[in-house]
Chains A and B, each alone.
Chain A
Amino acid sequence: MDLILPDLGLLFWTGIVFCCLLFLLAKFAWKPILNAVNAREQKISEALDLAAKTQAEMKALKAENDQILKEARAERDAILKEAKEAANHMIEDAKSKSKVEAQKIVESARLNINSEKAAAIAEIKTHVATLAVEIAEKVVRGELASDEKQKALAEKLAGDIQMN
């Protein structure tokens, strides 16, 4: 029967020991332990949040980089295209300008040649006329140098007339 009857002495000691234990543990054990555990949990959840945030930021940054790269590429292409066009334009321009110049040169050369030619022909004409007169003079003088010759000539001329 005394197994299920409370004992005053033990109740007294249990009360004292348990209350002291509760006080000491609460103040010097549970408080620092739980504080540390809570602080660590806080730290871990903050770290996780930060990691997620950083990841999102990285993703955004990468997208931005891609965008910038794309834009840069497009710009480069545009610049290249423009440069090419400008070069083509310049070449085309130079070509057409030089053509015109060449034509002009050719034209002026032809005009020059023609005028030179005309001058040369005119000179040759005068020269030939002079020469012909000189030759005729010499021939006439030769023909008419002696009497026999004059007689032969006259006869010949007379022969020609007769024949006709």
Chain B
Amino acid sequence: MQHFSKLSFIMRKVAFLLAFLGISGFSFANEEKEFNVSEMIMHHIKDAHEWHLYGPEHGGTSIYLPIILLDNGLKTFSSSHFYHGQPVTIENKESGVSMHYVKGTGPASEYAMFHEEIYKLNEAGLLEFKGEHPHNAQPFDFSITKNVMSLLMGAFLILVIMFSVAKFYRKNGAVAPKGLAKFFEPIIVMVRDDIAKANINEHKYEKYVPYLLTIFFFIWFNNMLGLIPFLPGGANLTGNITVTLFLAVCTLLVTLFSGNKNYWGHIFWMPGVPVPMKFFMMPIEIIGIFTKPFALMIRLFANITAGHIIVLALISIIFVNKNIGWAGLSVPMALFISVLEVLVAFLQGFLFAMLSALFIGAAVEEAHH
């Protein structure tokens, strides 16, 4: 949170300079409640139980997504019971900070939502705050959130496109591709040749091609969906640590289950080094097993989240200064970053698949000495 306020400080400085140069009008009047850039950005890059379409953040038009809770049985209801719930404000007597949360209504009346997290209310029907967070019990939340919805739509899109590509080949046999197949075939062949074949032993790579293709297209398509600012896109799915964690764990598991004698030998008893070094290398190599997928997880999460933050921050310049003239600066910059993000969307998918192939390749490599 801290560096976001720093960011807004720098932005304001830049804006001030530009205003001074006469690029835009001067309007710094801050009578009303100040526009909080970091809160807005964090709200956009995090998951939600609604899909906001247009209008103001509170009271605008949204799609209320289903809430599914596992709490002494399955409970399902619409998230509108929270978004149109009963706002509660609790003031902490010691620090003087007031906390705002929403108490559910109707079927959600046993629960409250605080920053998109669902908590069980205590006997008094309140949330108990300890510092900044409530310490009430939480039900297991399997809701179809914005990210889950985006995930389903992304998966549906990939299935529709790839099935139609597959249908072309099933119908026409081994001929020169046309239409969708013409567009996707070079990419599929690139994953097969430049990612799988280039990194994995020539006799074993074929087994891993479906996994690498799926992971590449999953990341690429969802990255692209994330760049669309309205309904089919807009969720920050591939910039969510949960999703990147899952993908990284998949690669870890594939690597571990493919590991041959040579691979485990290099981890537990490094050949070609003196015995004391063997003991020294072992913990390093064991940590190395986990740092590789960990880096995969962080890389995808950080790249995509950062892209969303930059675009939102650039758009915020207009709202921070409350002057449409700033659009002359903010829109071209946001456009530039968005175009860059199109490249990053592909690149991150490629990198994830490439590095996964590299790790798998190292795990199935035969000893050659």
Chain B nearest CB: distance from A49 CB in Å?
16
- Rounded to whole angstroms, the CA-CA distance of A13 and B247 in the bound complex is 13
Asked if B169 contacts A32 (CB within 8 A), the reply is yes
- Rounded to whole angstroms, the CA-CA distance of A27 and B178 in the bound complex is 22
Instruction: Choose among A3, A14, A17, A30 the residue that contacts B213 (Cβ–Cβ < 8 A).
Output: A30
Chain A nearest CB: distance from B190 CB in Å?
12
Against A, the Cβ 8 Å flags (1 = close, 0 = not) of B140-164 are 1111110110011001001100110
List B residues 127-146 near A (Cβ within 8 Å): 140-145
Q: Which of B22-30, B41-49, B79-87 touches A? A: B41-49
Instruction: Choose among A15, A17, A28, A36 the residue that contacts B173 (Cβ–Cβ < 8 A).
Output: A36
B20 within 8 Å of A (CB atoms): no
Asked if A7 contacts B152 (CB within 8 A), the reply is no
B317 within 8 Å of A (CB atoms): no
Asked if A9 contacts B140 (CB within 8 A), the reply is yes
- Rounded to whole angstroms, the CA-CA distance of A9 and B163 in the bound complex is 28
Contacts of A15 in B (CB 8 A): 246
B214 within 8 Å of A (CB atoms): yes
Q: Which of A37-45, A110-118, A126-134, A148-156 touches B? A: A37-45
Q: Which of B235-243, B332-340, B357-365 touches A? A: B235-243
Interface size class of B (residues with CB under 8 A): 35 or more
List A residues 4-26 near B (Cβ within 8 Å): 4-15, 17-18, 20-22, 24-26
Contacts of A17 in B (CB 8 A): 151-152, 155
Closest to A41 in B: B174
- Rounded to whole angstroms, the CA-CA distance of A32 and B210 in the bound complex is 11
A34 within 8 Å of B (CB atoms): yes
B170 within 8 Å of A (CB atoms): yes
Q: A2-B117, A18-B250, A29-B165 are in contact. Are A34 and B170 (CB under 8 A)?
A: no
Closest to B165 in A: A33
B192 within 8 Å of A (CB atoms): yes
B115 within 8 Å of A (CB atoms): yes
* Chain A interface, number of residues (Cβ within 8 angstroms): 36
Asked if A28 contacts B145 (CB within 8 A), the reply is no
Instruction: Choose among B140, B173, B189, B210 the residue that contacts A26 (Cβ–Cβ < 8 A).
Output: B210
Asked if B211 contacts A9 (CB within 8 A), the reply is no
Instruction: Choose among B159, B169, B241, B247 the residue that contacts A5 (Cβ–Cβ < 8 A).
Output: B241
- Rounded to whole angstroms, the CA-CA distance of A13 and B46 in the bound complex is 16
Contacts of A13 in B (CB 8 A): 142, 144, 148, 151-152
Instruction: Choose among B175, B217, B241 the residue that contacts A4 (Cβ–Cβ < 8 A).
Output: B241
Contacts of A24 in B (CB 8 A): 159
List B residues 78-136 near A (Cβ within 8 Å): 115, 117
Chain A nearest CB: distance from B75 CB in Å?
13
B166 within 8 Å of A (CB atoms): yes
In the assembled complex, 18 residue pairs joining A and B whose CB atoms fall closer than 8 Å, in A order, are A2-B117, A6-B241, A6-B245, A8-B141, A9-B68, A9-B148, A10-B151, A11-B246, A21-B214, A22-B211, A26-B211, A28-B163, A29-B162, A30-B214, A36-B173, A37-B192, A42-B174, A43-B174
9 additional contacts (CB under 8 A) given A21-B155, A26-B211: A3-B45, A3-B305, A6-B245, A10-B147, A21-B214, A29-B159, A33-B169, A33-B188, A40-B175
Nearest 6 pairs of A and B residues by beta carbon? A36-B169, A40-B174, A29-B162, A26-B210, A39-B174, A10-B242
